[in-house]
Amino acid sequence: MIIIRLDRVMADRKISLNELSEKVGMTNVNLSNLKTGKMKGIRFETLDAICRVLDCQPGDLMEYNES
């Protein structure tokens, strides 16, 4: 199971969902779905944009849990 840690990274960077969506070029709804783990996949282009804006690594945003 992949756990999405986007909310934690956003809180650490003090960035809102609205601000991130504007900078990444993604709708609030899609970004919210990603944040809550409701998305089934993410394009590398989108992951690259999120990492660029949040100044983080993909591993900061996702965690694998065997459960």
Share of residues in the chain with pLDDT > 70 (%): 100
- The alpha carbon of 60 is separated from its chain's Cα centroid by a whole number of angstroms, namely 9
pLDDT tens track for 35-53: 998 988 999 999 999 999 9
How far, in Å, CA of 64 to CA of 42, rounded? 15
Query: 5: pLDDT confidence band, cut at 50, 70 and 90?
Result: very high
How far, in Å, CA of 9 to CA of 60, rounded? 7
State which residues form the domain around 45. 2-64
Task: Report pLDDT for 27.
Answer: 94
What's the structural domain count of the chain? Answer: 1
pLDDT tens track for 18-36: 999 999 999 999 999 999 9
Q: At residue 67, does pLDDT exceed 90?
A: no
CATH code of 47's domain: 1.10.260.40
Nearest to 36 by CA among 49, 58, 14, 17: 17
Q: Which amino acid is at 25?
A: G
